[in-house]
Every structure is written in structure tokens, then in C-alpha cells.
Structure 1
């Protein structure tokens, strides 16, 4: 894995006001606070989260949602009562000079859109963003054009699908640190799923090489650690890209 300069929140935002950033993903909702050009630690929204306290000193809420959750309506209602503006970011045909590659642009998940937007202002012409979560997604960008991408099952979804849809195949809950040849059914499943995830990375690199000699691949998502053992100067772990994309909307 390349030891590149981290893409940090501190480079993205200025100002002293506090902003609440909310990311409602496929499996959970998360939030962070941005203040003084700094992104706080990421927290999970759960039953113990005091939403009113969370909103109490915020100038604005920036929201990204790939599914509708009760927390969205709760945030909107509380913010309205407190006089706090809520902006739900949506995928657009063009944002910050980046053009969306989907003809039917609302069909592109806003999480994918925010991830490529987070990196678009970093001065990198040709790149891909791979997000490894419930699904594995890959999006390609060259210049000011989002080219499109891929969607496939994530590691856990692939593993559970094997167990549910095949006979005499069992699995455990281990996550391999590196790719080996399995010697039990369970290890064969684990390493086979890892090989599949790594295959998306390797194939994405082939596509990028056909576009440019100078490219980067950025890895994000809850299961991004599955690719931490990859030794490639063009590949970089880059967590929290959705939040960094939301930060671009702070003016």
C-alpha cells in the first residue's frame, strides 16, 4: 500500500461554525461534526443518541441518505423547531465541475457521488474509488467526468449467499489478513471471497491503466481493511470519503 499523504478533512473546510454531517448508509446511520476545518470522530446513530443535544449548537445539518430511516424525519423535525437549516445532498448531473456519468443521474447512489466529489478537488486527474461495504462499488473518474462504475456483493454478502444457496458449504466469521489457499471449507470460503474482492481492485487497475499512465485507486468502506495487505504504490486507504464529500458543501 502506498505511503501517500493522507487526504485529510483539515484541507477541505474553513471557519469556526459547527456543522452536523449525517450519513445514512445501507446498514447504519453515522454522524460527525465539522468545526474549525476539522472533522470529528465518526459515531454511529443508535437508540442512545440524543439528537436534540446533537443539534444544539450546530449552524447547519448536511445529510446524505441511500435509504429512508426514521432518524431523517426526526432530524428534520427537531432542526425545524430549532431554526437549523437541513440540506439533504442529492446526486446531480454536475457538481463542483464534476459531471455525473449516469444518464439517469438520480440512480447513482449519493454515497458514491460524494466519494468521488471528495477526491475531485485533490488535483488527481484519473482515479477510481472502491467502497467495500454491504456492496462493493467502484467508480471511475477522469478529468471532470465521472465515467461510471461497478456494483457487486460485498464480502459478507457474498459469504452469506454461499452458505444460503449451496449445499454442504459452511462458513465461519473470520476475516483473513492475507490471501492464502484454503485447507478447510470455511477457509476456502473466506479466502475465496477475499480473492473476489481483490479481483475488483486488480481489474479496476487494468481499466485505469488503459486510460492513463498516472492514476490512483482509493479504498473506503467498512471492510476496507480486507485490502490493507495489497502492496501497490497507486493504491491508498482513504476512509470517510462520504463525510469529506459532504464537507465540500460547507460555504
Structure 2
């Protein structure tokens, strides 16, 4: 890796992703996934600068900051703003919004010609944010598929699952299928309700779908769904100078 490359880091609730972004890059390069922040050490030390989005533990930011300081490498830590790049936040206290949601919306602002869209991120949590003409209308935060199942197991005595992939929404005829199919139905239902809610405001809009569990929506026949795997990293590129 050459020293002129910038290192983009996206720290989520359960995963860490990084990517290189060069001076002539028009898109993000190879995405790397890491199980531990220490795996980033070598990448950081040979980068020209580092751009970080972190919704995970504060200790991860501290570690990255220490490595950058030790090696005299500039570190940009993304924060949610009241407005940026034509997007106006609806939150009265912007810092209460996870920066991953903010960066994902900023990335979608560059992709949407109408600046009117939903951003659906399906991971540990499922977040939905609505934007109309560049104005954030608000959003929802609900448990993701794994958290839904964990909640059932934790708070009930006779409910269990076989941990198969969530692939169906038909009515189950045993407890594992009832759990798996029901959790997928709840996730899909959240998106369908968001689609209905958005239609109260506008007639046409895009739905940008991202997150590790976005494949759960593969069965939906909705023409306005657009998949993008790395919206948070793409949002970070807007701050690269």
C-alpha cells in the first residue's frame, strides 16, 4: 500500500470494515473485514490519513487514536451534523443519531437525483431513515433478526430455533420454523410499513438497502429497492480531502 492512500474504517456494533481510498479513486477499493481492532494496526501505520466511523465501543476509537498519534498520522473522526452536503438533519440534538445512519444518508444523497429516499440498514439493529428533498423526516430503530430471536429465547421457556437461515415467511409447522419465519416476516413487515409511511409524503422514492442481513429482502418484488453494501464507507469518502 502506498503512503498517499487514505484508510477508511467503519466500526459497527459487531463488525469492523476497512477500505483504501487513493488520491485518484472514483470508488472504494477492496473491503477488508476484521474481528479485532488490533488487526488494523499495520494498515493504519502505512496510511497517509485515517477516516473513522464508530458506533461500537469507545475503546476502539481510543486504540485507533493512539496508533495514529504514535505514528503522526492525521485521524478524522466522523460525527453526526445538523446539516452537510445538502442534507438537513431532523434531530434537535444531532449527536443523538448514530453516525453510521448519518453517513449512509449522505452517501445516498449523492446517488438520488430527487434527494428523496429511504435508507434501510439491516444488521444487529434495523434502522430506517426517511429523506424528502434533502430533509430528514425521521426514522425507526428496531432489533435486527438475530436480536429478535435472542429476545424470544431469553424471555420464554419453550421457544427455540434450529438456527437455519431465514428464508421463508410461510406459517411454520414446528417451533424452529415459527421462530425463523416469524422473525423474517417481522423484518420484512417493518420495511413494508416504512414504504407505506413514506407514500404519505411522496409518490416516488428510492429505497437504499444496506447491512449484513440485506439478503433477507431478496424475495420482495419492489422495483425501487437498490442494494449498496458499503454506504457508511461511501459516506466517509465525502470528507476525504
TM-score by length of 2: 0.91
Q: Quick one: distance in 2 between partners of 1:124 and 1:17?
A: 35
Q: Quick one: distance in 1 between partners of 2:114 and 2:104?
A: 14
Q: Quick one: distance in 1 between partners of 2:37 and 2:224?
A: 41
Q: Quick one: distance in 2 between partners of 1:108 and 1:47?
A: 25
Once superposed, what is the RMSD of the aligned Cα atoms?
Answer: 1.8
Match of 2:156 in 1: 166
Contact 1:126 1:208 in 2 (8 A): no
Pick one of 6, 11, 15 that aligns with 1:28. Answer: 15
Match of 1:154 in 2: 144
Gaps of 5+ in 2: none
Match of 1:84 in 2: 73
Matched, 1:46 2:66: no
Match of 1:231 in 2: 221
Q: Quick one: distance in 1 between partners of 2:162 and 2:219?
A: 21
TM-score by length of 1: 0.88
Matches within 5 A, 1:233-248: 233-248=223-238
Deviation at 1:215, TM superposition (A): 0.6
Match of 2:59 in 1: 70
Instruction: From the superposition, tell whether residues 56 and 38 of structure 1 become closer, same or farther in structure 2 (CA, over 3 Å).
Output: farther
Match of 1:13 in 2: none
Deviation at 1:249, TM superposition (A): 0.8
Contact 1:176 1:226 in 2 (8 A): yes
Gaps of 5+ in 1: 1-15
Matches within 5 A, 1:113-152: 113-122=102-111, 123-152=113-142
Aligned residues: 236
Q: Quick one: distance in 2 between partners of 1:107 and 1:125?
A: 23
Instruction: From the superposition, tell whether residues 211 and 48 of structure 1 become closer, same or farther in structure 2 (CA, over 3 Å).
Output: closer
Deviation at 1:53, TM superposition (A): 2.2
Deviation >6 Å, runs of 4+: none
Q: Quick one: distance in 1 between partners of 2:41 and 2:120?
A: 34
Q: Quick one: distance in 2 between partners of 1:221 and 1:215?
A: 20
Say which SS state the counterpart of residue 121 (structure 1) adopts.
Answer: helix
Say which SS state the counterpart of residue 204 (structure 1) adopts.
Answer: helix
Deviation at 1:24, TM superposition (A): 1.4
Range moving further from structure 2, 67-76 or 149-158 = 67-76
